Amino acid sequence: MTMNEPTGDENHRFEAKGKEIPELKQKYIHTSELYESFLQISSFGDVVSIYRNRPYFQNQKKHSLVSPATEVFLNVPASRSAVYHYTGLLVHESVHYWFNKKENNQTLASFSSVKESSVRLLDFFINFFEDSTGSSGLRDVLTWMCELSAELSSRNVGRPAMVHYQQHEKILEIFKSNDVVAKLISLMNLVVIKLIDKNPDACMKVLFETSRHGPQFSWMWLHIATIRNLYVKLILKFC
């Protein structure tokens, strides 16, 4: 063997590296396809259009609304904030058309697809965070839920179905009667309790920062104050 000839170990490393390249390429292609699929469904619609009765999601199939979001959430962690934003749009559209139905019984449009898709995505988050071990992901999802809660209030408290119910208790009661918001509240319960256990300072910082929305977040504050054993956990953590 000459000095320039590779040893057996070097040959093995070259072969292994040669196998890794197509595997990495295939993984890159798969990830790109997942993200493209998600972008195709998530890049349409916005909150303003939704409340101007320009629906997009309610005419889509449930599978096409849910699967791309869950796949990219699991396989492309950097996309999770985009998945939260997209889920928020589904929630807004579902809640808006639920109110439309209450305000006008003659409304013929069906929003069952977007409603069920919203619930399935929120259930997906619940299952995911039940098994979560870190706190950074919990902070991110809590921040998103707080922002979404304030948006739901600001977009809906002035509409006919809500105009006579401006007290925070009544607003909470009406929102809880909506299946999608009720599921959002279930996710809020889980995340607040888990984050209080793991990082109480971070949890309270997120909640207090959301207070800048003023009365728009008060209905959710009212609910958070009723979460079972929350005060006990806070006392044990901070005392």
Range of the structural domain that residue 103 is part of: 9-238
If you average pLDDT over residues 126-134, what whole number do you get?
86
**Does residue 177 belong to any structural domain of this protein?**
yes
Residue 239, pLDDT score: 47
Domain count, the chain: 1
Q: Residue 12 — very low, low, confident or very high, per pLDDT cuts 50/70/90?
A: low
Pairs from 95-103 (Cβ < 8 Å, separation ≥ 24): 95/152, 95/156, 95/178, 95/180, 95/181, 96/50, 96/51, 96/155, 96/156, 97/55, 97/58, 98/178, 98/180, 99/156, 99/159, 99/161, 99/162, 100/53, 102/161, 103/159, 103/160, 103/161
For residues 34 and 16, the model is more confident at 34
Q: Residue 33 — very low, low, confident or very high, per pLDDT cuts 50/70/90?
A: confident
The pLDDT mean for the chain works out to 85
**Does residue 24 belong to any structural domain of this protein?**
yes
Flag whether pLDDT at 230 surpasses 90.
Answer: no
- Whole-model pTM: value is 0.84
**Does residue 1 belong to any structural domain of this protein?**
no
Flag whether pLDDT at 68 surpasses 90.
Answer: yes
